[in-house]
Chains A and B, each alone.
Chain A
Amino acid sequence: MSGPLSGFGVVLARDLRLAFRRPGEMANPLLFFILITAIFPLGLSPEPELLRTVAPGVLWGAALLSSLLALDLLFRSDYGDGSLEQLVLSGHSLPVLVLAKTLAHWMVSGLPLVLVAPLLASALYLPPEAWGTLMLGLLLGTPTLSLLGAMGAALTTGLGTGSALLSLLVLPLATPILIFGARGVDLAVQGMDPVGPLYLLAAILFLALSLLPLAIAAAVRISLD
């Protein structure tokens, strides 16, 4: 029953179940991702040359923004109905539990982006050679975004400030992910080896996985005090 990782499975299952109960809300980040990506051709021009050039940045920027969208809700409803407090008092390791919550969040809001990316990439005339780099980069980068966002959400849950403050806190910290992800795709488009940025994204992910759950747990405790 207990052990260092106990509670992880339970929280993960619970959060996923809760998410699936509201399929509309679950679809929001994905819809947002598609919407933002569509806005750029409308705002710029439908020229293939132009769109191909901006595609990496647009796709990654859209991924960043749609991850942010879903974050506010990560802790808010649990905070509101007291279940967050239950988690803290449960006796299980809080960093493990918040990691489970973040994983559930990512599976619902980040993973779909990875899967849909090739479709949107082709809409922006991004050559298929670069799709692999795009998907792998998103696969490595979106979990880190979820972790950073979870920390921001935990810090701002108790406040009435809404998502503007959350964005202000998270976006500057997320810029390296944006840079490495988008520029990695660029390298792939140019036929060069994108391994460097991808390794960096992986390294950042591991750093985030080891440190951020602790920070998120601490932030949750502060919010609940």
Chain B
Amino acid sequence: MAPPKAETRDDYKYFLNLQTRWMDNDLYGHVNNVTYYSYFDTVVNYFLIEKGGLDIHKASIIGVVVESHCNFSRSVAYPDMIECGLRVGHLGNSSVRYEVGIFKSGETIASAAGHFVHVFVDRESNTPVAIPKEIRDAMSGIVAEAKS
């Protein structure tokens, strides 16, 4: 099994600083694997709110997660501060693939990296809708550069 390519800070376009919490550590003394997905959830939604103007209470559209994935390379532990790096890997009509890297504060190599796919649907009908312009513009601003 080939290990995934190491992700570095300059692979990401948007960062959110988070304080890990006591309850994030499991009995091995580091952040539990599932908790990384709550960091993904947090950075993605914060980005949509801050940069895309998403009103999570009243907007006519909602983002539904259709896939999440994470590779775990090294551990993070409370009380570390972490930085969640975010970029967009693919921007479709109604769906978007975010790519997330979790960094210990100040480190250049990601401790964990993965992806998270949203499909935007109408809040009432639950059917896919085009991503609204303000949100799409924000996403366009963090699209990953093609690697040569």
Q: Is B one of A's binding partners?
A: no
Which residues of B are at the interface with A, using a C-beta cutoff of 8 A? none
